[in-house]
C-alpha cells in the first residue's frame, strides 16, 4: 500500500477514537494528514498523531470536504448525519457506531471474512459492534465446513465498552472501599450486570438491543439468514478485554479434532487451547487477534461444540477492525488486512 491519503477521525477523544490513532501509528497506515474532530468542548485542544501535534476541531457540515477516508467513532446520531456527507464529498467512510451495520446495501466488514464486500462498497462500510467480531471470526470456518445452524453465546463485556468516562469511574471504584460509611454497596461497575433494555413505555422488552443486534450482524456477515443466535450480554468488572462463552450446533457434526484444525488455521484467530493456556480478557487486552480455547464437544448435543474466546474490545472488536477495513479500501490488496501489530 503506497498511496497516501488524507484521513479524518470523528470522535477522536473517545476510547475508540484514541485506539484508531494508535492503530494508524502502529500499522504505519499511509496518511499524508489526519484531521481530528470531537465535540465543541474539545475544539482547540491538541492530540498527537505519529508524534505530530494535531489540533481538534468541532465537526460541522462545512468541514467534510477534502478527505479520502473518514473514520466515524462517535455516536449513532452523528454517524447517521455525517456518513452520507463525507461519502458525498468523496471520502470512503468506515463507521464503528453501529448506525449503518444493518442498513441494506451497506457492507458489514470483517476483513478476514468478506474482503470482496468491503472493496465493493458504495461509500460507506460498517464495522460490526464489538461482540460480533470475535463470534464471526470463530463461526466463519465452522460455517464453511459444516454450516452453523444455531449458536448460543454469552458475552462478558468490559466497562470500556461504555467509553472513557465509565473507565474512569471504574478505576475510582477499584480504589474505594467495599462500602461507604452509610453501608451502601460498591457501584454496579464492580458487579456482573446483564445489559437489559431501557423501558420506553408499553410492554417491557425482554431482549437488550445488543442481544438482538448480535444475531442480525452474524447473519449478515455470514450471509445466512437461517442461523439461529441466542445471546446474553453482561457487563463485567473488567477494564478492557471481552470474553465470550459459545455453544455451536452445526448441520454436519464436527469432531473435536476437525474443529481444532479449522480454528487453528483461520485468519484472525489464535488457538490457545490446553490447561493453563486458555484465553482471558485481561490476557487478550492489547492483542490484535481473537483468542479461542477451551474447545470441547457438547455432551448434551451430539455434534455440538463448546468454546471460550477473548479479544480486546477496543482493538479487534472496533478500532483495529476499522483500520483493517480502511487498508483494504485504500490498497485493493487482499493481503493488506493480514496480521500486523495492533
Residue 76 has pLDDT above 80, yes or no: yes
Q: Which three cell numbers stand for residue 185?
A: 454497596
Q: Label residue 74 left, alpha or beta by phi (over 0 means left) and psi (-120 to 50 means alpha).
A: beta
Per-residue pLDDT of 260-313, as tens digits, reads: 999 999 999 999 987 788 899 999 999 999 999 999 999 998 889 999 999 999
CATH of 5-128+317-331, one of 2.40.370.10, 3.40.50.1260, 3.30.2090.10, 3.40.50.720: 3.40.50.720
Per-residue pLDDT of 110-124, as tens digits, reads: 999 999 999 999 999
C-alpha distances in Å from residue 334, one per residue of 1, 118, 329, 330, 338:
11, 11, 10, 11, 8
Per-residue pLDDT of 193-213, as tens digits, reads: 888 776 666 666 777 788 999
Per-residue pLDDT of 62-71, as tens digits, reads: 999 999 999 9
What are the start and end residues of each CATH 3.40.50.720 domain in the chain? 5-128+317-331
User: Is residue 242 within 8 Å of 315, Cβ to Cβ?
Assistant: no
Q: What is the mean pLDDT of the chain?
A: 89
What are the start and end residues of each CATH 3.30.360.10 domain in the chain? 132-158+193-235+238-313
Q: How much is the pLDDT for 201?
A: 62
Q: Which of 135, 131, 146, 98 is nearest to 254 (CA)?
A: 146
Q: Which three cell numbers stand for residue 289?
A: 487477534
Residue 56 has pLDDT above 60, yes or no: yes
Q: How much is the pLDDT for 13?
A: 94
Q: How much is the pLDDT for 275?
A: 79
Q: Label residue 241 left, alpha or beta by phi (over 0 means left) and psi (-120 to 50 means alpha).
A: left
Q: Hey, what CATH class is 132-158+193-235+238-313 in?
A: alpha beta
Rounded distance, CA 323 to CA 20, Å? 7
pTM: 0.89
Residues ≥6 apart with Cβ < 8 Å to 297: 255, 256, 304, 305, 306
Amino acid at each position: 500500500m503506497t498511496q497516501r491519503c488524507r484521513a479524518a477521525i470523528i470522535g477522536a477523544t473517545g476510547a475508540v477514537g484514541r485506539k484508531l490513532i494508535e492503530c494508524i501509528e502502529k500499522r504505519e497506515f499511509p496518511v499524508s494528514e489526519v484531521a481530528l474532530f470531537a465535540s465543541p468542548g474539545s475544539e482547540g485542544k491538541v492530540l498527537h498523531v505519529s508524534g505530530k501535534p494535531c489540533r481538534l476541531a468541532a465537526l460541522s457540515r462545512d468541514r467534510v470536504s477534502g478527505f479520502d477516508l473518514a473514520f466515524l467513532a462517535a455516536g449513532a446520531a452523528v454517524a447517521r448525519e455525517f456518513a452520507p456527507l463525507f461519502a458525498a464529498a468523496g471520502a470512503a467512510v468506515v463507521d464503528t457506531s453501529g448506525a449503518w451495520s444493518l442498513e441494506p446495501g451497506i457492507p458489514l466488514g470483517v476483513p478476514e471474512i468478506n474482503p470482496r464486500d468491503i472493496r465493493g462498497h458504495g461509500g460507506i462500510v460498517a464495522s460490526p459492534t464489538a461482540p460480533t467480531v470475535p463470534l464471526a471470526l470463530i463461526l466463519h470456518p465452522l460455517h464453511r465446513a459444516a454450516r452453523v445452524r444455531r449458536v448460543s453465546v454469552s458475552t462478558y463485556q468490559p466497562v470500556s465498552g461504555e467509553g472513557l468516562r465509565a473507565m474512569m469511574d471504574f478505576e475510582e471504584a477499584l480504589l474505594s472501599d467495599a462500602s461507604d460509611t452509610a453501608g451502601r454497596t460498591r457501584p454496579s461497575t464492580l458487579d456482573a450486570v446483564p445489559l437489559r433494555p431501557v423501558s420506553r413505555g408499553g410492554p417491557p422488552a425482554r431482549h437488550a438491543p445488543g442481544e438482538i443486534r448480535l444475531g442480525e450482524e452474524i447473519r449478515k456477515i455470514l450471509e445466512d439468514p437461517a442461523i439461529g443466535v441466542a445471546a446474553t450480554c453482561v457487563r463485567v468488572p473488567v477494564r478492557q478485554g471481552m470474553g465470550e462463552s459459545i455453544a455451536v450446533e452445526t448441520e454436519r457434526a464436527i469432531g473435536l479434532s476437525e474443529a481444532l484444525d479449522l480454528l487453528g488455521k483461520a485468519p484472525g484467530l489464535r488457538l490457545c487451547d490446553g490447561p493453563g493456556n486458555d484465553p482471558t480478557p485481561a490476557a487478550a487486552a492489547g492483542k490484535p487477534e481473537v483468542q479461542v480455547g477451551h474447545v470441547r464437544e457438547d455432551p448434551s448435543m451430539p455434534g455440538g461444540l463448546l468454546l471460550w474466546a477473548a479479544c480486546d474490545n477496543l482493538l479487534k472488536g472496533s478500532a483495529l477492525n476499522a483500520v483493517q477495513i480502511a487498508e483494504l479500501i485504500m490498497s485493493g490488496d487482499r493481503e493488506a488486512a493480514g496480521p500486523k501489530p495492533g
